[in-house]
Amino acid sequence: MKRRKFIKQGSLLTGGLFLHQQMLNAFAGPSAGEKISMGIIGCGDRGSGIMSVIRELDERFVIKAVCDVLDFRIEGVKKLDTDHSLTYYKDYRKLLDDKTIDAVVIATPLSLHFPIGSDALKAGKHVYLEKTMTYNKEQALQLVALKKQFPRQILQVGHQYRYTPLYFKVKDMIEKGYLGKVTQIDCRWDRNWNWRRPVPEGYTDKQINWRMYKEFSGGLPAELLSHQIDFINWAFDTHPDEIFATGGIDFYKDGRETYDNVQALLRYNKEGMIGNFGATCANAREGYIFKLKGSKGTVSLLPHDGIFYPENEARKELETVDGVTGATKIEWNKDGGIPIVKEKLKDGTWYALQEFHKVIQENGVPVSNVITGATTAFCVDLINHSSFNHTIEHWKPEFNIS
């Protein structure tokens, strides 16, 4: 089996050493093609972050206009707009009316993803929509239906982490069976601070700290855990069948409505797999952990780094010899793990936007699309339902979309 696998033509991502370069080539293609005119809707932390990556990719994109309902955010962008090349809007509809704009980035509070995303599609724009795709499952289903009416437009969902070559490689490793049978996923995204931004004078807490309010936000599951939930859905081509979640406002009793401490258990029947996804705002010891535990090995992931720990099934065979000669192994780390990528990666957004440009040029389908985005939105919605209503939630047939 091993021999046969060895000789077969490997996939693009087979060679661990050159993953980064290969991904660059794969995404970038021989020529950049046309520059895409961009409008940015929402200039908070995330919108500004995306803008700075777009500016790095100035062979592919040009930012034409920005929109935010908060004046101080607009002022912040103006400071960087030294050549006064941008048009500024407070009303996103006016930005959508601008015919010179090909595509929009939507980085608004979660509750606005669906209305603005829908309007953008209807206005003929390609859409890079921040995660989670929609606020609830109903909106997700509606957006899937709406997108079908606009087949020539791109809708990409901003689950940017899985765009790094690292996450592609891990998917590849899962498919090749290097992890064996995965039974457990352990994921945490912890911090020890209140997850609030300072509110400038003249603005309300709801405007700035919308993540604290149920009417705008899906809380920690939507804003943080959705990334890893989405990765598991995509990497295993699956979805959970049963979800139990719990949570509370356990530390920051500061008027917030969304939980500062959550834990979700996801049961994947087809894979025979349990996912444990948790986040707290009151402990930073572990920070980000994401572990996929299989019968042959564990993958331990950080956003830009990953280590493979083999379960060493070959041990029995190795016990019979005193030494093994082979081609030099490349830097095993001290605790017996093998680094999955060898070089420093760029931020996931960089790779995600490369693909956004490419699929627009080729009228392709992004890896993180309306279908995978909806699947993850269903998961987040079920998690919040479960934790708010103390119920066990089940996957519904209508969620099986294509």
Residue 365 CB neighbour total at 10 angstroms:
14
Q: Which of 86, 27, 12 is nearest to 350 (CA)?
A: 27
- Tell me: does residue 385 bind other proteins (CB under 8 A): no
Closest approach, Cβ 46 to other proteins, in A, equals 28
- Tell me: does residue 80 bind other proteins (CB under 8 A): no
- Tell me: does residue 324 bind other proteins (CB under 8 A): yes
CB nearer other proteins, residue 149 or residue 325: 325
Q: Pick one of 82, 320, 335, 402: the residue that binds other proteins (CB under 8 A).
A: 320
- 176-189 burial, b at 16+ Cβ within 10 Å, e below that, comes to eeebeebeebbbbb
- Tell me: does residue 82 bind other proteins (CB under 8 A): no
Which helix (H) or strand (E) segment is 173 a member of?
A: helix 165-176
Closest approach, Cβ 366 to other proteins, in A, equals 23
CB nearer other proteins, residue 83 or residue 335: 335
Q: What are phi and psi of 302, to 5 degrees?
A: -110, 170
Q: Pick one of 100, 326, 398, 402: the residue that binds other proteins (CB under 8 A).
A: 326
CB nearer other proteins, residue 269 or residue 312: 312
> Is residue 262 within 8 Å of 221, Cβ to Cβ?
yes
Count residues binding other proteins (CB under 8 A): 50
Sign of CA dihedral 90, 380, 240, 162: positive
Residues 7-36 that bind other proteins (CB under 8 A): 7, 9-10, 12, 14-22, 24-25
CB nearer other proteins, residue 284 or residue 330: 330
**Contacts with 49 (C-beta within 8 Å, 6 or more apart), sequence order:** 349
CB nearer other proteins, residue 16 or residue 44: 16
Length of the chain: 402
Alpha carbon distance 221, 379 (integer Å): 9
CB nearer other proteins, residue 164 or residue 217: 164
Closest approach, Cβ 34 to other proteins, in A, equals 22
Closest approach, Cβ 73 to other proteins, in A, equals 36
Closest approach, Cβ 336 to other proteins, in A, equals 10
- 262-301 burial, b at 16+ Cβ within 10 Å, e below that, comes to bbbbbbbeebebbbebbbbbeeeeeebebbbbbeebbbbb
Q: Do β-strands 338-339 and 392-394 pair in parallel, antiparallel, or remain unpaired?
A: unpaired
Residues 330-369 that bind other proteins (CB under 8 A): 330-332, 334, 338, 340, 343
- Tell me: does residue 317 bind other proteins (CB under 8 A): yes
Q: Which of 308, 224, 311, 233 is nearest to 273 (CA)?
A: 233
- Tell me: does residue 6 bind other proteins (CB under 8 A): yes
Alpha carbon distance 127, 102 (integer Å): 9
Closest approach, Cβ 344 to other proteins, in A, equals 9
Alpha carbon distance 152, 125 (integer Å): 10
Greatest distance between any 2 Cα atoms in the chain: 74
Q: Pick one of 198, 202, 204, 327: the residue that binds other proteins (CB under 8 A).
A: 327
Amino acid at 255: G
- Tell me: does residue 315 bind other proteins (CB under 8 A): yes
Place of tokens 């790095």: 56
CB nearer other proteins, residue 199 or residue 314: 314
Q: Which of 379, 48, 393 is nearest to 225 (CA)?
A: 379
CB nearer other proteins, residue 333 or residue 389: 333
Sign of CA dihedral 231, 232, 235, 237: negative
Residues 149-208 that bind other proteins (CB under 8 A): 173, 176, 178
Q: Which residues bind other proteins (CB under 8 A)?
A: 2-3, 5-7, 9-10, 12, 14-22, 24-25, 173, 176, 178, 296-297, 308, 310, 312-315, 317-332, 334, 338, 340, 343
